[in-house]
Amino acid sequence: MTEEKKEEQKETRLPDGFRIEQARNYLRMHINRAAATYDLPGEVIDLIIEGLLAEEQRQRIALMAEQTDILVNRKENEA
């Protein structure tokens, strides 16, 4: 992508609050679509969402632990 296009995108970028609200609506729409498609009650959808969030959190923790290990190993090798 050229520098000119990058600058143009920065100028036309929507405010964070608006983009967050768009993302929430997008997620809500797809959650409702999945519930209707698979004929699942709200309680099951809640469990699925909680499971996805827990999995995402575990992945973030694993990444942070990996990054910490790299930093600790670097410091030990420097010493």
Range of the domain at 56: 41-79
| Region 41-54 average pLDDT | 95
The CA R_g of the chain, rounded to the nearest whole Å, is 20
pLDDT given at position 78: 86
Q: By the 8 A CB rule, do 45 and 34 touch? A: yes
Rounded average pLDDT over 37-56 = 96
Residue 59 and residue 46 share a domain: yes
Same domain, 22 and 46: no
| Whether 50 and 74 share a structural domain | yes
The answer to whether 28 and 39 have CB atoms below 8 angstroms apart is no
pLDDT at 57 over 70: yes
Q: What confidence score (pLDDT) does residue 13 get?
A: 86
User: Do residues 34 and 40 lie in contact, with contact meaning Cβ atoms separated by under 8 Å?
Assistant: yes
Amino acid at position 22, single letter: Q
Checking if the pLDDT of 10 tops 70, the result is: no
pTM exceeds cut of 0.75: no
- Quick check: 35 and 45 in contact, CB under 8 A? yes
Domains of the chain: total: 2
Q: Inform me whether the pLDDT recorded for 19 exceeds 90.
A: yes
Whether 18 and 52 share a structural domain: no
